[in-house]
Structure 1
Amino acid sequence: MSVTTPTDAASVPRIRPALAADAAAVGAIRAAAIAESTGLWTDHRPTPAESAAWAQGHRERGTMLVAEDPGGDVLGYATISPLRDYSGYSRTGEVSIYLAPSAQGRGIGRRLLTALVALGQEQGWHSLQGWIEAGNAASIALHERCGFTEVARIPESGFKFGRWWDLVILHRLL
């Protein structure tokens, strides 16, 4: 696969396909996003077994990338998921990118999303969408820098932390 990047610079994270050994680190990043952010509109905190099964499904489909620092620590992950289970949506994917707090603001999200778009092209996806909480200006700007265009704003689409949140949908044809 062509998404692996060189690690000759000591501080440059490598973007690579996820491995089974990454499941715990990815699960921890995902669990923190569920507990602390509006990035995932769910209150269910998956068990380690549920997280491992979710990550395994992505690995089997080849739809998960991770950013790894030179020491081997996972800094973040990105996935493509089918938008819906109906066959008519089989080539429309939803992208997700989550970073450990220490990795935010360092360009790692952009590197992950750029590699994820390339992966989507390699795999034959027709289009990708990002569904983002409207107040997450950094994520919206990231998607726009990577060629996504806002196509919808839907008020009060999700409920979390005792309040309603607006949704922004960004879209990119591949």
Structure 2
Amino acid sequence: MIRAALPEDAAEIAAIWNPIIRNTLVTFTTEEKLEADLASLIAEKSASGQSFLVFEEARKVIGFATYGPFRGGPGYKHTAEHSVILAPSARGRGVGKALMNELERHAKRAEIHQMIAGISSANSQGIQFHKAIGYEQVATLPEVGRKFDQWLDLVLMQKRL
């Protein structure tokens, strides 16, 4: 079941996100997410009209998706960047696609015209997933990220909503 995230979901979201931060090149960040910060982020997104969704199965959060501004300034107000992250048990089962469908519906209602995905080039599954749901690769920014003593490329993918 897809629903709006609640601040009380922060612990389960952190349990999904932090191993990815700690152990993979999927995200360039090295700072783990704190439950209190996630609870605040969920509340802020809700208050500002941006979506933060979770996929819940058997009363457990197994994935989430959210979007926010792509860049600052009023000229970019119709473009957003999203994140979609799944627990290992949720991958390959349509959970990500369902989350993205709902997230994109919300974004359209919020007058978002373009959705951007910034994906680590080390995340080939993420790139393939986005291609499968209609995103087009529009750029590769070479060596703009650094993690685990490696330079990483950022792949930008875009979908017109």
Distance (whole Å) between structure 2 residues aligned to residue 93 and residue 37 of structure 1 = 25
Given that 1:128 and 1:173 are in contact with CA atoms closer than 8 Å, whether structure 2 keeps it comes out as: yes
In the TM superposition, what is the alpha-carbon distance from 1:96 to its structure 2 partner? Answer: 0.5
- Among 84, 105, 128, the residue aligned to 2:71: 84
Equivalence for 1:101 = 88
Given the alignment of the two structures, is residue 162 of structure 1 paired with residue 156 of structure 2, yes or no? Answer: no
Distance (whole Å) between structure 1 residues aligned to residue 17 and residue 149 of structure 2 = 20
**Structure 1 segment 21-36 matched on structure 2, within 5 A:** 21-36=8-23
* Deviation string, structure 1 residues 37-91 (Cα, Å, up to 9, x no partner): 223211222332222222222232341111110x210001001110112222122
Given the alignment of the two structures, is residue 67 of structure 1 paired with residue 55 of structure 2, yes or no? Answer: yes
In the TM superposition, what is the alpha-carbon distance from 1:108 to its structure 2 partner? Answer: 0.9
Given that 1:150 and 1:170 are in contact with CA atoms closer than 8 Å, whether structure 2 keeps it comes out as: yes
Gaps of at least 5 residues in structure 2 are none
- Among 95, 118, 121, the residue aligned to 2:108: 121
- Among 14, 27, 30, the residue aligned to 1:43: 30
* Deviation string, structure 1 residues 1-38 (Cα, Å, up to 9, x no partner): xxxxxxxxxxxxx1122122212211222222211222
* Deviation string, structure 1 residues 140-163 (Cα, Å, up to 9, x no partner): 121112111110011111001111
**Structure 1 segment 128-167 matched on structure 2, within 5 A:** 128-167=115-154
Given that 1:17 and 1:62 are in contact with CA atoms closer than 8 Å, whether structure 2 keeps it comes out as: no
Given that 2:65 and 2:100 are in contact with CA atoms closer than 8 Å, whether structure 1 keeps it comes out as: yes
Q: How many residues align?
A: 160
In the TM superposition, what is the alpha-carbon distance from 1:119 to its structure 2 partner? Answer: 1.4
Distance (whole Å) between structure 1 residues aligned to residue 30 and residue 141 of structure 2 = 21
Gaps of at least 5 residues in structure 1 are 1-13
- Per the normalisation by structure 1, the TM-score is 0.85
* C-alpha RMSD of matched pairs (Å): 1.4
Q: Give the AA of the match of 1:99.
A: L
Distance (whole Å) between structure 2 residues aligned to residue 21 and residue 49 of structure 1 = 10
Q: Give the AA of the match of 1:114.
A: N
- Per the normalisation by structure 2, the TM-score is 0.91
TM superposition outliers: structure 1 runs of 4+ over 6 Å: none
Aligned-residue sequence identity (percent) comes to: 35
